[in-house]
Amino acid sequence: MKKNFVNLALGAFLLTGMGACQSQKSNLVFEHQGDTLTIVHIKNPAKYLLLPIQESSNEGKVKLDTGSPADTPMDIRLAVDSVEYYVPFELPAGTKEATVTIGKVAANAVCWDHIQLSDTFNTTNTDYYRPVYHHTPLYGWMNDANGLVYKDGEYHLYFQYNPYGSKWGNMHWGHSVSKDLIHWNHLKPAIARDTLGHIFSGSTVVDKNNSAGYGKDAIIAFYTSASDEHGQIQCMAYSNDNGRTYTKYEKNPILTPFDGLKDFRDPKVFWYEPAQKWYMIVSADKEMRFYSSSNLKDWEYQSGFGKGYGVQPNQFECPDFIQLPVDGDKNKMKWVMIVNINPGCMFGGSATEYFVGDFDGKEFKCDTKPEVTKWLDYGKDHYATVCFSNTGDRVIAVSWMSNWQYANATPIRQYRGANALPRELSLYTKDGQIYMAANAVKETEALRKDTRKVDNFAVKGEYKIDEIVPQTDGAYELEMDVTPGKAQVAGFELLNDKGEKMKIYLDMKAGKVVADRTESGIVDLTRYGEVTVHEKETDDHRKTMSINYKNDFALGTWAPLSLCEGKTYHLNIFVDKCSVEIFVDGGRIAMTNLVFPTKPYNTLRFYGEGADYKVENMNIYKLGL
């Protein structure tokens, strides 16, 4: 049994009753009705019922039974043979008795001997791979960011959240706030799963004109309720306390698919000034659909876009729709549709693509042909990218730092899921095309605690820097200018003393920047859960990499250097406990990859092929909150 979050001494004794076996610990009584249903009677409830979890177990049905039709069972993997960790199940305050019903868990499961009552739940970090400066939930599962909004000096980050285990399930909107996009304060979940279903992704807006009638500057949330019974339907809720709590609209849903579509989710709402209306873009299987509204409650279909566009095959998810100036010229504005797809990533699994074009209030017209794909990030672990609303001229995006191929199987237990660094988006032109850059927000500079300047040097075969950052816990930033010259390869390795390494190099012959994590540490995730396993290389892009891999984690990713200008490349590389994020030339190339080294990388070895190359203006920053 792993380290518990709490340490409670509870007495226990067994009772036998008429037709049911009962056991009691302190003021807990378990009434087993056969082998499929247990009723937990609680006298003088504490704040929490602490539930023991075993991730390999099947999901049980756990419900706080108040007698209301709104009571909703949660899917929780209660421990059958062994306890891995605990999660808190909140009980009603100020009551003398409470009842919790638990279905689909055997009467002889070990959970019944370990369920505990407590007024506290310890969220002190116990996980080696928890990032130092990236946002994570305190405990439980997190995937897509959603509902991002800025109001009254606070950035609100809502996210897909399971408070009852570190695997996907029980979708709530978790909630964190920040004043600087770096330091995050964790709040209670803002919107909970209910009888309409899981609370899937969506968006929020500040209703400055009181369009919905809930007050000027109310925050209005739009989300997908998802269930087998009701399908995927769009719902609304409103907040009058700066996004801390939400009241669900009594007439939900506000929008359902007109053609009975199964995959219809993730509403993104934005204000369209020329029409003086609100618009919603919704993912609809393999396209996006536009709707408009004057009151945020009644929505009229406008058009669809995307069938046959981008990489194929794909599943459109988590859209965003933003307007940006081209090359900083506000007289030349373009609309950008951000589309998250799964599957479809260049390297397998989930990723973010985008389309640049024009919008007339009715239809979006893309500037490029359907077969053209533009990627926002060229790594393996950058998905569900969406942008904050109400940030003025700045467009700031946040993504989930994982991949659906192995998200449930990372070597982590207390929590799963992290956000990549927030990124500021901009448009630039290159070779007659318009592309979108995604650079780490300037606020990340506040993470720099110590600076080590490195004299300019030429790499002649090998150049090594030992102890990158003294006393580091694996959190630092590398900044440098690399001029390959006539070198065919100009690169370096992040190393530890166990021989684990992350290789980053410019392959000038192939015209690529490459991140290779095949030897980065723990790379075979099959031991931690179910992942996609390949027996042989089948995709052309993998063949060109000439990298052997054990599964969909152990591989390399690459991006075309043709997106950049000049013969010198500016690199910012952010390293954290379990991630490496690469930004080339201000985000013209962004590449995000998870890594799981068993010790921090603290040696830097430069190497080259074909000729010498130069490294200049190099700084090493120790990062921390």
Cα dist from 511 to 487, 542, 565, whole Å? 12, 16, 12
Quote the mean pLDDT of the chain.
Answer: 92
Most confident of 24-33, 342-351, 464-473, 478-487: 478-487
- Pairing between strand 60-64 and 140-151? unpaired
Is the bond into 313 cis (omega within 30 degrees of 0)? yes
pLDDT for 126-173, tens place per residue?
999 999 999 999 999 999 999 999 999 999 999 999 999 999 999 999
Q: Report the percent of the chain where pLDDT is more than 70.
A: 92
Strand partners, 435: 428
Catalytic residue positions?
A: 144
Q: How far apart are alpha carbons 438 and 395 in whole angstroms?
A: 10
- CB count, 10 Å around CB of 603? 15
Per-residue confidence (pLDDT) for residue 470, from 0 to 100:
75
Spell out a b/e string for 317-341, using b for 16 or more CB atoms within 10 Å of the CB, else e. bbbbbbebebeeeeeeebbbbbbbb
pLDDT of residue 347 exceeding 80:
yes
Lowest-pLDDT range, 176-185, 268-277, 344-353? Answer: 344-353
Q: 401 with 377: CB under 8 angstroms?
A: no
- CB count, 10 Å around CB of 373? 18
Per-residue confidence (pLDDT) for residue 563, from 0 to 100:
98
Q: How far apart are alpha carbons 123 and 177 in whole angstroms?
A: 18
* More confident: 548 or 260: 260
Per-residue confidence (pLDDT) for residue 35, from 0 to 100:
80
Per-residue confidence (pLDDT) for residue 531, from 0 to 100:
65
Q: Exposure of 505 by Cβ count < 10 A (0-12 exposed, 13-18 middle, 19+ buried)?
A: buried
Per-residue confidence (pLDDT) for residue 267, from 0 to 100:
98
pLDDT for 293-306, tens place per residue?
999 999 999 999 99
- Give long-range contacts, CB 8 A cutoff, 24+ apart: 497-505: 497/599, 497/602, 497/603, 498/597, 498/598, 498/599, 500/597, 500/598, 500/599, 500/601, 501/601, 502/580, 502/593, 502/595, 502/597, 502/601, 503/556, 504/573, 504/580, 504/582, 505/607
Per-residue confidence (pLDDT) for residue 527, from 0 to 100:
78
The pLDDT-based confidence of 534 (bands split at 50, 70, 90) is very low
pLDDT for 451-481, tens place per residue?
999 999 999 989 998 888 876 789 999 999 9
Per-residue confidence (pLDDT) for residue 25, from 0 to 100:
65
The dihedral over CA atoms of 225, 228, 229, 233, expressed in degrees to the nearest 10, equals: 30
Q: Report the percent of the chain where pLDDT is more than 90.
A: 87
Q: How far apart are alpha carbons 408 and 159 in whole angstroms?
A: 16
Task: Report the first-to-last Cα separation within the chain, whole angstroms.
Answer: 32
pLDDT of residue 271 exceeding 50:
yes
Q: How far apart are alpha carbons 500 and 477 in whole angstroms?
A: 19
Rounded to 5 degrees, φ, ψ at 109 are -70, 150
* More confident: 22 or 480: 480
Residue 583 tokens read as 């930004």
Per-residue confidence (pLDDT) for residue 383, from 0 to 100:
98
- Pairing between strand 140-151 and 415-416? parallel
Q: Quick one: average pLDDT of 526-552?
A: 49
* More confident: 611 or 9: 611
Per-residue confidence (pLDDT) for residue 1, from 0 to 100:
32
pLDDT of residue 191 exceeding 80:
yes
| Nearest alpha carbon to residue 483 among 506, 449, 454 | 506
Name the 3-class secondary structure at 544.
helix
Lowest-pLDDT range, 69-73, 506-510, 526-530, 607-611? Answer: 526-530
Q: How far apart are alpha carbons 84 and 263 in whole angstroms?
A: 34
**Which domains, and CATH codes, for the chain?**
13-118 (2.60.40), 140-440 (2.115.10.20), 444-623 (2.60.120.560)
Q: How far apart are alpha carbons 139 and 127 in whole angstroms?
A: 10
For the chain, give the number of residues: 625
Residue 320 tokens read as 């965003």
What is the CA 530 to chain-centroid distance, rounded? 19
Q: Quick one: average pLDDT of 368-396?
A: 97
Per-residue confidence (pLDDT) for residue 312, from 0 to 100:
87
Task: Write down the pTM of the prediction.
Answer: 0.92
Q: 277 with 292: CB under 8 angstroms?
A: yes
Q: Quick one: average pLDDT of 364-390?
A: 98
The pLDDT-based confidence of 16 (bands split at 50, 70, 90) is very low
pLDDT for 485-511, tens place per residue?
999 999 999 999 999 999 999 999 999
pLDDT for 518-531, tens place per residue?
999 999 888 777 66
The residue to which tokens 């007439």 are assigned: 251
Per-residue confidence (pLDDT) for residue 466, from 0 to 100:
87
Q: How far apart are alpha carbons 241 and 538 in whole angstroms?
A: 53
Strands (E), 44-139: 48-53, 60-64, 74-76, 85-90, 97-103, 116-118
pLDDT of residue 542 exceeding 60:
no
